[in-house]
Amino acid sequence: MAQKHATPMLDELEKGPWPSFVTDVKRMAPKSKMCEDWLGLMEMSYRDKEGHWKHGGIVGVLGYGGGVIGRYCDRPDLFPNVAHFHTVRVNQPASKYYNTQILRQMCDLFERRGSGLTNMHGSTGDIVLLGTTTDELEPIFYELTHDLGMDLGGSGSNMRTPEGCLGMSRCEWSCVDTQDIIYDLTMEYQDALHRPMFPYKFKFKASGCPCDCVAAIARSDCSIIGTWRDNIRIDQEAVRAYVGGELVPHAGAGGREKGSFDIKAEVVDLCPTRCMEWDGKTLKIWDEDCTRCMHCIRVMPRALRPGLDTGATILVGAKAPILEGAQLSSVVIPFIKMEPPYGEFKEFVEKMWDYWMEHGKNRERLGEMIQRVSLREFLKACDLTPDPRMINTPRFNPYIFYDPAEVPGGWEHDGVAFRQRHQA
C-alpha cells in the first residue's frame, strides 16, 4: 500500500541487521492515520534537522496530576493527524508480569483511541502509550481502570512508578520480595504517585540482590537492594566439582562449557576485597570483608549462595546527568530487614521526603540536594547514624569534620570574621 508521505531518509533506518522503529510504525500506518502523519513529520524533522514537537501542557485526567504528558506538533497544517500526540504512562504490574489477554486488550484499546503505538517499557518501567488526542484521554483512563484493572503511572514532580526486578518469583538470589515491596509502595503512596508535591521527580527501584538487575543504584532516588548479613553459603563438594570440570561455570552463560576452570584466576583473584582463599581442597571466605559484589556467586551458582539472614541496603541520590553529572546512590541504611508492612522503611521515606520538600530547590533531585547540604545534614534530618559502610574508603580520608554540637564545650565559627583575617 502506498504511503501518504514519502520517507527516503527514514527508509535508511530500516537497513542493517537491527530492528527498526520505522518498520514498526510503517506496519501500523495502514490502520492509523496518526502513524501516517507521524512518518511524514519525522521525515521533515530528519530533512530539516529540526524537531517539530512541543512538549508539555495542561492536559490530564480529572483528579490526577501526572500520567499524561501533553505533546503537540508545531505544523498541524501539514500533519493534522498528529496535531495532538499526547503520551499516556500506564503503571506496569510489579516485575512486569502480564497475561496475553491484558496485553491484547491494551493494544486494542490504544488502536481504537490512539495511534496504536506503544513503548514496552519506558525507562521508569511504565507501559507508554504514544500518541492520542485530548478528547480520548478520559475514555482511555476509564477503560484502563474499569476494564483492564490498570492505573496511570507517575510523571512530573510526582513519585514515579516504582519498579523492581523479578525478585523471588524467578530468582534464587533474591534476598527480598521485590514484587511485594513495589506493590506495597505503589499502594501506600498513591497520593504521591498521582498528585505532585516534590521539587522534582522521585524514583524508587528495588533489586532483589546486589547484581541489581534494574540498576536501582544508578537510576533511582531511593534504591532498595537486597543483601544478607550472615555468611555466604558454601557447598564445598560443588566447589570441587567446578574445579574438577564437572560443573559449568557461570551456569553456561556466554556459551561456556564444561572443561578447565581456574578458580584462582576466575574467582579468588577477582574478588575486590581479596576475602577468599582456595587451598586446593577448600574455599574459605572471610565474610566480614565481603562487599557483596556477587562475582563468586555468579561464577559458581551451584556452590555459593547468599546467606540466610536477608534484608536490604537502602541507598539514596542516584540520577542521570542533567544539572550536575550522573550520580550513583549512596548507602544510608546498610541493612534493614524489609519485611511487610515495611514500617521502619516507610518512616525513613517520610522523613526524607519532609526534608527534601523543605530544603530542595525547584527541579533539584534528592541526590543534588544532599550534595549541596552534605550527607551529614541529610543523615541528621532522617535520624540516621553515620556508619563506615556509607563511605567508599573509610580508612583512606584523614579529614574528620566534627560537629560543634557533638564536641564537649563546642565552639563558634564566625565566617565573616574569618574572611577578614584571611583576605587573600
Partner 1 sequence: MSEEAKLRIIEWVKQQKKTKHYFNDLCKAVPEIKMMQAKKIINELVAEGKLKYWSSGSTTMYMLPSEGDVDKEEKGMN
Of 59 and 248, CB closest to partner 1: 59
Asked if 197 is part of the footprint of partner 1 (rule: CB under 8 A), the reply reads yes
For residue 23, count other CB atoms closer than 10 A to its CB. 12
Which is nearer to partner 1, 276 or 382 (by Cβ)?
382
The Cα–Cα gap between 85 and 136 comes to 11
How many other C-beta atoms are found inside a 10 Å radius of the C-beta of residue 170? 11
Pick between residue 38 and residue 356 the one whose CB is nearest to partner 1: 356
Three-state DSSP class for 223? strand
- Burial of 127: CB neighbours in 10 Å, binned 0-12, 13-18, 19+: buried
CB of 368 to partner 1, least distance (A): 14
Judged by CB under 8 A, which of 4, 33, 52, 195 binds partner 1? 195
d(CA 181, CA 94): 9
Q: Name the residue nearer to partner 1 (CB basis): 158 or 174.
A: 158
Residue among 199, 210, 301, 311 that touches partner 1 (CB under 8 A)? 199
What residues form DSSP beta bridges with 285? 276
Between 57 and 334, CB nearer to partner 1: 57
Residue span binding partner 1 (CB under 8 A) among the ranges 70-78, 204-212, 223-231, 305-313: 70-78
Burial class from Cβ neighbours inside 10 Å (0-12, 13-18, 19+) for residue 80 reads exposed
Alpha-helical segments (H) within 244-342? 263-266, 295-299
Note whether 139 binds partner 1 by CB under 8 A. no
In this complex, which beta carbon is closest to partner 1, that of residue 199 or of residue 226?
A: 199
User: Which of 11, 105, 148, 156 is close enough to bind partner 1 by CB under 8 A?
Assistant: 156
Stretch that binds partner 1, among 62-70, 217-225, 308-316, 371-379 (CB under 8 A): 62-70
| Cβ–Cβ under 8 Å, residues 180 and 340 | yes
Q: Assess 59 for contact with partner 1 (CB under 8 A).
A: yes
Return all residues near 413 (Cβ < 8 A) that are at least 6 apart: 404
CB of 56 to partner 1, least distance (A): 4
Tell which one of 45, 105, 119, 134 touches partner 1 (CB under 8 A). Answer: 134
Q: Report d(CA 223, CA 316) in Å as an integer.
A: 6
Query: End-to-end alpha-carbon separation of the chain, Å?
Result: 76
- Angle at the Cα of 48 (from 45 to 54), degrees rounded to 5? 45
Give which of 249, 173, 154 is closest to 213, Cα–Cα. 173
Q: Is there binding between residue 169 and partner 1 (CB under 8 A)? A: no
Q: Check binding of 55 to partner 1 (CB under 8 A).
A: yes
Categorise residue 383: left if φ over 0, alpha if ψ from -120 to 50, beta otherwise. left
C-alpha grid cell, residue 373: 547540604
Of the residues 31, 104, 363, 376, which one makes contact with partner 1 according to CB under 8 A: 363
Residue 73 is inside which H or E element, if any? strand 71-73
| 256 versus 363: smaller Cβ distance to partner 1 | 363
Judged by CB under 8 A, the chain residues 73 through 112 that form the site for partner 1 are: 74, 76, 83-84, 87
Task: Please tell me whether the peptide bond between 341 and the residue prior to it is cis, using omega within 30 degrees of 0.
Answer: yes
Is 69 near partner 1 (CB under 8 A)? yes
Does the footprint of partner 1 cover residue 258 (CB under 8 A)?
no
Q: What is the rounded distance in angstroms from the CA atom of residue 163 to the CA atom of residue 219? A: 10
360 binds partner 1 (CB under 8 A): yes
373 near partner 1, judged by CB under 8 A: no
**Stretch of residues binding partner 1 (CB under 8 A), selected from 23-31, 51-59, 167-175, 403-411:** 51-59
54 belongs to the binding site for partner 1 (CB under 8 A): yes
The span from the CA of 164 to the CA of 145, in Å, is 22
- Smallest distance, partner 1 to C-beta of residue 129, A: 14
Among 81, 132, 155, 329, binds partner 1 (CB under 8 A): 155
Residues that bind partner 1 (CB under 8 A): 54-60, 63, 65-66, 68-70, 72, 74, 76, 83-84, 87, 134, 155-158, 195-201, 353-354, 357-358, 360-363
